[in-house]
Amino acid sequence: MRTTSVLPRVSIVLAGGLVAAGLFTPPASAADTSVDLACQATPPIGSAQTFSLHAGVNATAPGTVASGSQFSVTLAPDPLAVPTSVSGYTLKSISDIQLTVPVPANTTLIDESIAGGSDPGSASVTVNGGNVIVTVTGPIAGGSTFTLPALTLDLTAGASGSTVQTALGGTSYSSPGLTFTASVPVGFFNVDVPTACFPSSNEILSSTSVS
């Protein structure tokens, strides 16, 4: 009975404390593009809590390509740090991290690949409904710094006069572009808190003109 009474309190404190503690803490160096994410953590007991995260992405893409030509865009997320505790409670790990990138308009996707990252053994990339999804199953331990793998999209340029832009996916909590699960040990239990995020502003990561 005592353990049951603690679980809701820890779940809510964990979700609400993500803002202050910073579940993802960027390094000191600035990214090429900083993306603000609106997030919602949903503990198993208690109400959902909202907070903000900040992520950085370095994008590499040509400035101009010819219509019908093939080219590549690489999106490399900056390193991220996971704290050891949140509001006084130990953060055991985060897991099942999924980052979604829509296939850019005015292109045809030829291939997608990932490289690098701190946990390549648990990383994979898939395409689903016009979205490219990078998954790292983890777990990533609390207190560690990690990097999601760089994503490369091999594309064919569309019509002349168009523009090819890349951005992170997600439009709402129910249609997120970043998801993960935080795990906190409480007595003999681990409290899992699913979290969903989407860009709060439409930051363009790269832009390529089609001639």
Give residue-wise pLDDT tens across range 30-75: 447 988 889 888 877 777 878 888 888 999 999 999 999 999 999 9
Using the CB atoms, write b or e for 80-117: b if 16+ within 10 Å. bbbbeebbebebbbbbebbbbbbbbebbeeeebebeeb
pLDDT value, residue 191 = 81
Residue 191: count other Cβ atoms within 10 Å of its Cβ: 22
Q: Tell me which residue of 42, 178, 182, 15 sits closest to 100, measured CA to CA.
A: 178
Tell how far CA 198 is from the center of its chain.
9
Res. 83 pLDDT band, cuts 50 70 90: confident
Map out the domains of the chain with their CATH numbers. Answer: 2-199 (2.60.40.1170)
- Average pLDDT on 85-103 reads 84
Q: Are 125 and 132 in contact (CB under 8 A)?
A: yes
pLDDT value, residue 57 = 93
d(CA 113, CA 151): 6
Residue 211: count other Cβ atoms within 10 Å of its Cβ: 11
pLDDT at position 210 over 90? yes
Tokens 């390529």, residue located: 208
User: What does the mean pLDDT of the chain come to?
Assistant: 83
d(CA 194, CA 21): 17
Full-model pTM: 0.83
Q: Which residue has the higher pLDDT, 55 or 178?
A: 178
Percent of residues, the chain, with pLDDT higher than 90: 50
- Average pLDDT on 117-122 reads 85
Measured distance between the N- and C-terminal CA atoms of the chain, rounded to whole angstroms: 68
